[in-house]
Structure 1
């Protein structure tokens, strides 16, 4: 039984997709299935647009994080958190969340604890349960009664658009210790 009919399962198969295109794959179209499923999943979840990353309760992340979209922190991050401004990044530190490091994100909402300086190019919102140990640099600030800040509240210079990239000291003033 050496003829091709006995080995049907291994021969390439052609079929028509629902869009009318002829497609092929091995083992009755299964070879291409993982790639197609991944593409469908990306389209459904909207990757590249506004994906949300979650650091769940009980999770500890050590190291710097660079992200796009939205980041929700319910666990603990020991490192700097940076969001891409062009992507409209925002971070939400939930009640149980802790960030030990510098936060540089356009929009910051804090309900938990942050130990380090916060740089928000657009907006900072401190809820009643927020605790910040560090300076807060902002373009727009909202503070609810009960929020605690151990540091300075520093508005962005007029016309800077909330750009804190340089952090150059004011002429004649010594640089802040790091």
Structure 2
């Protein structure tokens, strides 16, 4: 990767302090939604589902966690069950990587926010318990209109989704 960077070619990793590099090719966000009747109106809430990874000098017991913010307002938090792969299995690259799949904010943190949100990832070193912010992503939550098919095709509650174009742009940059 260093050679690619020296040649001026784009890379899919972002170097961080402490020998940890963010794997941008592994970063992905999605929503789990739930609709509730609040004051005789349907409102849709969501919890963020994230996939994220880092590689480099990663000690055992290291963990990844994230915070979802809108401006300075903290909306939700998640500590992720992290999987450390040695990488040297079956001739793979011997650089260890730590990744999370399907890491969600808790059901108690059903969020209703729309617009631009910030997801701040923190790496917790398993040897020293030192916390380092390794990445900050901006995602956009939008609403897609839906139709109540069972009732004369009348408009129904909107369904939130993560705008993928914002993810692609941040990965390329």
TM-score (norm 1): 0.21
Structure with the bigger percentage of strand: 2
Please tell me whether Structure 1 or Structure 2 has the larger radius of gyration of its CA atoms.
1
**Higher RCO (Cα < 8 Å, 6 or more apart):** 2
